[in-house]
Amino acid sequence: MKIFTDGKKSSIKEGITYFLPTTVSAYAAEMNKVHEVVSNYIEKNPLTSVSGIHLEGPYINPVEKGLQNPSRIRPATTKELSRLSLKNALLITMAPEIEGFEESLPILEEKNGVVVSLGHTDAEFEDMNRANDLGINGMTHFPNGMNTLHHREIGCVGAGLLLDMILEMISDGIHSSSDFVKLIYKLKGPSRIILITDSIDATNLNDGKYDLGGLECFWHN
């Protein structure tokens, strides 16, 4: 399973070549609605830089939920996944230690080969290594939303460094220091790093209150 995908590219002023509208943890009906809206948009705009959908949850670990609504986080079930509209879903972020993770992989592969990326996870290295052995080679916004490196249990960050993983990174100087970004670049090289914005839907909008997966979000430029 590879992170990189083919698709139409366009250069815009922020330097974005691929744009994946991304959900936070949501109910199944909400996920299907997003898929309907984005799929219709892609169909009507064939030259768009929107390449597909990224489902960031809901099958994640609430311990590392970040700004995600805990009421929408849940185990993965084959029953729910089989009912989801996933034709234009390119990527799904999941935690490898959650209930139903391994059972979900065949269904996601059948559903247009949805790529699994590891994120919002408190997994031990053993869990990450097992997922990598199952063909998963990507990590979502590394090292944010995951446990840190320890010399007795190298965990998620250690897995990202040791295993042949492709690492998404938010190199804005806030989510990770510039020195950390330099370290990862030196250890992994540019071919194993994807730079992302991780912008929320209030980006570039007026100051005010917005909804983020059922949570109130206050945006200030």
CATH code for the domain of 54: 3.20.20.140
Strand pairing of 208-212 and 22-23?
A: unpaired
Task: Name the catalytic one among 6, 164, 179, 198.
Answer: 198
Q: What is the pLDDT of residues 65-80, one digit of tens each?
A: 998 999 999 999 999 9
Q: Are 56 and 23 in contact (CB under 8 A)?
A: yes
Give the contacts of 1 (CB within 8 A, at least 6 positions apart).
109, 113, 115, 116, 135, 136, 137, 138
Asked, for residue 16, whether it belongs to a domain, the answer is no
Asked, for residue 8, whether it belongs to a domain, the answer is no
Q: What is the pLDDT of residues 129-173, one digit of tens each?
A: 999 999 999 999 999 999 999 999 999 999 999 999 999 999 988
pLDDT at position 12, please? 54
122 catalytically annotated:
no
Going by pLDDT thresholds of 50, 70 and 90, the confidence category of residue 5 is: very low
Rounded mean pLDDT, 198-212: 73
Asked, for residue 157, whether it belongs to a domain, the answer is yes
pLDDT at position 13, please? 62
Asked, for residue 114, whether it belongs to a domain, the answer is yes
Q: Are 21 and 51 in contact (CB under 8 A)?
A: no
Q: Range of 57's domain?
A: 22-201
Asked, for residue 4, whether it belongs to a domain, the answer is no
pLDDT at position 93, please? 98
Question: For residues 210 and 202, what is the distance between their CA atoms, to the nearest angstrom?
Answer: 7
Asked, for residue 212, whether it belongs to a domain, the answer is no
**Most confidently predicted of 13-17, 31-35, 199-203, 216-220:** 31-35
Asked, for residue 12, whether it belongs to a domain, the answer is no
pTM: 0.88
Quote the number of domains for the chain.
Answer: 1
Asked, for residue 59, whether it belongs to a domain, the answer is yes
